[in-house]
Structure 1
Amino acid sequence: MNGQKFTWTLQNLVKSLYRRVERGTKSILMPLDLEWGVIKTLVGVMGRCPNSFAHIYGDIFSLRRGSTKIVYVSGYKMVKEALVTQVDSFARYVTPLFGEIYQGRGLSFSNGYSWRKQQQFAVSHLKNFGEGKKTLEHHIQRECHFLCEAFKEEQGHPFDPLVKINNAVANVIGTLVFGQRYEYDDIQFQKLLRMSAESVHLTGSVWNEWYDAFPSIMSRIPGPHHIIITNYRRLAAFLKEKIEKHKLDWDPNEPRDYIDTYLAEIEKRKNDKEARFDLDNLAWCMVDLFEGGTGTTTTTLCWALLYMMKYPLIQEKVQEEIDRMIGRSSICTLADKASMPYTNAVLHEVHRKGNIVPLNMSRVAIKDTTLGSYFIPKGTVMITNLSSVLNDKREWETPDTFNPGHFLDSGGHFRRRDAFFPFSAGKRLCPGEYLARAELFLLFTILLQTFTFCPSPGEEPSLDSHLGFTRAPMPYKFCAVPR
């Protein structure tokens, strides 16, 4: 079945299940009696399924997952209203599976006062290490060197870059969080990364959806969903070992990494129990930083290099700017970003078209509220469609095209765009945003400074993707030709 016929069939299926639409009434939602598990399955097949529903039923519609009503929000204006304007009306929705795993700990699946304090601390640490001490820049530059050496070992022959890139990205966040980098062939390191990748893959699978729909049943029967729980607990146990080692030679006056600064914060907040600064919460915050700081950045960089291979003229323009502003032998710094508008625009367009998190993490209404003209009762789960923002035809000149010009003005200067939410928006913005932007700029620029990326002989680069917890390119190979 071709894509057009599938879309037509899907639309008619949904119309047959769609029971009523009551327009112009503020107290009524637009229900679709279609199970969320079906939606997720169709997303995996079609990729653009949620946007198709939005085109038919508007920027706000509702679905049901078992007994849970889910409001789906699309389009820049409505998503901004939900995440920014109405931010105090919603909190993080903790799914049954991750409620079982996190139990209110960490950064991603907590709410209230403790979450605010943990979030503020994490953002402050990552930013201070990046700006105040130049530690972040140094770590990334060093890891770029190791990554370039790993690419050179392939001697210009075709290879899959995913594992090497994942090694480099994980080492950057690992160095900042627990003060250690690993060789790319370290057995323990590779086991850790495979376990993390497996968890991310299974989180985007139907097993996670079934657990969330039927937690009391799924918790009692075997299946891959138990692997998710086990892997997260193993990662937390690994990080707790790092914490114990840090305690042996901890010097509060010489903080080396996130663990050291957190240990100092524990001492500082002994009388503030509600903030939950303790060793157990430290481990789960580290889980979030390591998982979130590895997978998404790795996927984005894989998209960036794939786009450069797909569009060689754009790659050439990036390299021309690098040669002009930095040269072939100088080390790229974060300060160079301000004088490299085209490279900056290309990276922003990679975020937009790569669209690695099409669906934002769920939120739940903590009070009765409205979005647009529709009433949202307390307890309603809300999912914002970030893909619809990054591809909103009302905001982008050529949304279906990879076009760095979206982020350049008529004079070739970099320009920011309002409808740019790759890291979500509002108070629950990704705590590692600064780290991710710094990491991507330095890794991407140094790689393009060192290599030209070409397709394997006789092959045409494909932009096909697979959708799990994130949207990633299908596995590919390229030739990294030294410049």
Structure 2
Amino acid sequence: MEWADTFIFLLVVIISCYLLISSRKKQLQKGRLPPGPTPLPLIGNFLQIKPAETLKSLLKLREKYGPVFTVYFGTRPVLVLCGHQAVKEALIDKAEEFSGRITMPSMVPTFQGYGMGFSNGARWKELRRFSLTVLRSFGMGKKSIEERIQEEAQFLVEEFRKTKENPFDPTFVFSRAFSNIICSIVFGKRFDYEDKEFQALMVMVHKFFWEMSTSWAQFYDIYSNYLNYIPGIYSKIYDCMDIKLFIAKRIKKNQETLDPNFPRDYIDCFLIQMEKEKDNPGSEFIMENLVANILNLIFGGTETGSSTFRYGFLLLMKYPEVQEKVHEEIDRVIGPNRVPNIEDRRQMPYTDAVIHEVQRCSDIIPMNVAHMVTCDTEFRGYHIPKGMIVLPLLSSVLHDPTMFKFPNAFNPENFLDEYGCFKMNDAFVPFSSGKRICLGESLARMELFLFFTTIMQKFQLKSLVPPENIDLTFQESGFANIPPFYQLSVIPR
């Protein structure tokens, strides 16, 4: 049997080499794809792209091939977009053509094509439209959700007070606060910070982002076509089973107490719609899509905001002069006792600029979630075929030297004009851009401002090491940028 296995393997290698070389020649002859480094059979651009440094490798290739180029992840061609102008032309000017989504191999076990995050066509449009309607009906963008965030901010302040100026790691304190806002919409309740099941959920969500950002996940995403032939390799991919079990328990509880006339949360609304469409064989309102949608909402509503906050606090301790200016503006506009509200933002240009600069520098999803071309399209003189993977490097937009005065430094002046007024920048795309922009962008903006101003109103952040010794290096940089773990003290003001 061994000789047969060897023969089959060699045959696969030979055929793959032939197909890759043949395809590459045809594409070059017809001028179909943008130029890029020449791929090798089977391994594509393995020599140019280090799996542990995918973003860094792609940015280096930009120096030679320009803002639009093609690389090969194994045998799969990938269109890479760098800088504000190229990303805008694709995601905004050709929004429909570049609105497709592809599930990267490392995330297939978790989503399996379901949910609004990684689906396409009618499924994506229907689930996104429904979810946006439900989020708005439960207060997103309205006064009611502002009050909910203000309330959660006070729980967060109380957690900080409990530390009594002793050093602590803020990682899961932040994740519980941010998660409670989306949980109040999805599950109809907030969780106590000491709730063991809730704490376990936060650990699992953090682990997911961590696992998806490791060098192993990046390596697997590039070479999954071959790695899947290795026995047992698929079991190494994180599948979020524990999180799904948590969600399944909540769904079951809702099913047992559901009143179609009085929906309490997102789950109720989805279950009601499921019942309405139970006789429709093509309905997208099925249990698999409900679970996947909740995963999308929890991931988007928890880890991205809390990671931004963790990195932001590190930046404020690294640059204490910025923290001082924020304190001064809060004292002048809000004072020491009044609860901050979203209207305060209009009178707080410096604080608003700091929050935006924190988001820019934290660069949470640096390579965006992979897009896919929905139909054959012309782009910058090239013919991009339907189904091609697209990586719009958001990091290259957020650090575009043509758009930011200080592209590679933490400096709030990137969002201030010459008179000290807040100035939005078109290259500010931490929530992505175009038709696939983050569903909860308005909610996230409100959370960041209210949580930030409430904490800074009450506390001074104190590092355990001198500012010059604070290391801002991300622990992992792949699907997400994972901020380093650290401890700090918070001193009541």
> What's the TM-score once normalised by structure 2's chain length?
0.86
Q: Out of 371, 388, 406, which is 1:363 matched to?
A: 371
Partner of 2:461: 453
Cα offset, 1:405, TM superposition: 1.8
Partner of 1:478: 488
CA–CA distance in 1 between the matches of 2:440 and 2:283?
Answer: 20
Q: Out of 315, 322, 336, which is 1:328 matched to?
A: 336
Indicate yes or no: 2:464 matched with 1:468.
no
Partner of 2:198: 189
Distance change (3 Å), C-alpha of 1:48 and 1:95: closer
Q: How many percent identity over aligned positions?
A: 36
CA–CA distance in 1 between the matches of 2:448 and 2:401?
Answer: 27
Report if aligned partners of 1:130, 1:435 keep a CA contact under 8 Å in 2.
Answer: no
What letter corresponds to residue 222 of structure 1 in structure 2? G
Which segments of 5 or more consecutive residues in structure 1 lack a partner in the other structure? 1-18
Report if aligned partners of 2:53, 2:215 keep a CA contact under 8 Å in 1.
Answer: no
Q: Out of 211, 214, 221, which is 2:224 matched to?
A: 214
1:275-310: CA deviation from partner (whole Å, max 9, x where unpaired): 512333212100110012111111101122112111
Q: Out of 39, 45, 54, which is 1:35 matched to?
A: 45
What letter corresponds to residue 36 of structure 2 in structure 1? P
Indicate yes or no: 2:412 matched with 1:407.
no
Cα offset, 1:370, TM superposition: 2.7
Indicate yes or no: 2:183 matched with 1:178.
no
Indicate yes or no: 2:170 matched with 1:165.
no
Once the two structures are superposed, the pairs formed by residues 26-105 of structure 1 within 5 Å of their partners are 27-32=32-37, 33=39, 35=45, 39-43=49-53, 48-90=56-98, 91-105=100-114
What letter corresponds to residue 101 of structure 2 in structure 1? R
CA–CA distance in 1 between the matches of 2:399 and 2:141?
Answer: 36
Partner of 1:144: 153
What letter corresponds to residue 364 of structure 1 in structure 2? M
Q: Out of 440, 443, 466, which is 1:435 matched to?
A: 443
Cα offset, 1:445, TM superposition: 0.8
What letter corresponds to residue 94 of structure 1 in structure 2? T
CA–CA distance in 2 between the matches of 1:371 and 1:93?
Answer: 19
Cα offset, 1:62, TM superposition: 1.3
Which region of structure 1 is more displaced relative to structure 2, 430-439 or 202-211? Answer: 202-211
Report if aligned partners of 1:202, 1:224 keep a CA contact under 8 Å in 2.
Answer: no
How much is the aligned-residue C-alpha RMSD, in angstroms?
2.7
CA–CA distance in 2 between the matches of 1:82 and 1:382?
Answer: 10
What letter corresponds to residue 146 of structure 2 in structure 1? E
Cα offset, 1:132, TM superposition: 7.0
Distance change (3 Å), C-alpha of 1:127 and 1:304: farther
What letter corresponds to residue 145 of structure 1 in structure 2? Q
CA–CA distance in 2 between the matches of 1:221 and 1:104?
Answer: 24
Give the count of matched residue pairs: 460
Report if aligned partners of 1:78, 1:371 keep a CA contact under 8 Å in 2.
Answer: no
SS at match of 1:69: strand
Partner of 1:374: 382
CA–CA distance in 1 between the matches of 2:166 and 2:109?
Answer: 46
SS at match of 1:99: helix
1:230-263: CA deviation from partner (whole Å, max 9, x where unpaired): xx23322221221121123333443332112323
Cα offset, 1:25, TM superposition: 8.8
Cα offset, 1:349, TM superposition: 0.9
CA–CA distance in 2 between the matches of 1:238 and 1:37?
Answer: 42
Report if aligned partners of 2:353, 2:416 keep a CA contact under 8 Å in 1.
Answer: yes
CA–CA distance in 1 between the matches of 2:59 and 2:227?
Answer: 32
1:148-179: CA deviation from partner (whole Å, max 9, x where unpaired): 12212222122221121112222222222112
> What's the TM-score once normalised by structure 1's chain length?
0.87
Report if aligned partners of 2:463, 2:488 keep a CA contact under 8 Å in 1.
Answer: yes
What letter corresponds to residue 31 of structure 1 in structure 2? G
1:181-225: CA deviation from partner (whole Å, max 9, x where unpaired): 223232222222222222222212344345442357537633585
Distance change (3 Å), C-alpha of 1:106 and 1:219: farther
Cα offset, 1:451, TM superposition: 0.4
Cα offset, 1:357, TM superposition: 1.2
Distance change (3 Å), C-alpha of 1:273 and 1:330: farther
CA–CA distance in 2 between the matches of 1:37 and 1:437?
Answer: 40
